[in-house]
């Protein structure tokens, strides 16, 4: 039992930020995902994991991060941002993304 709790804590420690996908857009041929940061923070070039209904669906990298039209290097809790990922995965509105260390 203690080993399971320790493993869960280690997994939680490796999550730097969590966000929920609110919208998707295509601008100048780029697929952009509108997300709200619900916990922690996201930085440009973070590795992220995508979850749908709490099930992992893939891993990708954050290659663009914007607040409105301004490019930023970090977005913190309660802010909304536009994100571009590479490689592009089947990310949908309602999916959860987690920035992993």
Res 92: pLDDT: 97
Neighbours of 75 (CB within 10 A): 26
The span from the first CA to the last CA of the chain, in angstroms, equals 25
d(CA 53, CA 97): 11
Neighbours of 53 (CB within 10 A): 8
Res 1: pLDDT: 52
Q: Give bridge partners of residue 35 from the DSSP assignment.
A: 21, 81
In the predicted model, residues of the chain with pLDDT beneath 50 are 6-7, 9-10
d(CA 24, CA 93): 7
Res 57: pLDDT: 96
Q: Catalogue all structural domains in the chain, each as residue range(s) with its CATH number.
A: 15-100 (2.40.30.10)
Res 6: pLDDT: 47
Residues shown for the chain: 101
Res 33: pLDDT: 98
SS3 6: helix
């Amino acid at each position: 039992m203690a080993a399971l709790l320790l493993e869960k804590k280690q997994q939680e420690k490796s999550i730097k930020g969590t966000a929920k996908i609110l919208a998707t857009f295509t601008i100048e041929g780029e697929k952009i995902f509108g997300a709200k940061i619900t916990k922690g923070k996201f930085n440009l070039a973070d590795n992220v994991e995508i979850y749908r209904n709490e099930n992992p669906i893939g891993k990708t990298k954050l290659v663009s991060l914007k607040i409105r039209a301004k490019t930023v290097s970090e977005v913190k809790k309660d802010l909304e941002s536009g994100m571009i990922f590479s490689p592009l995965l089947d990310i949908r509105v309602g999916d959860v993304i987690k920035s992993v260390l």
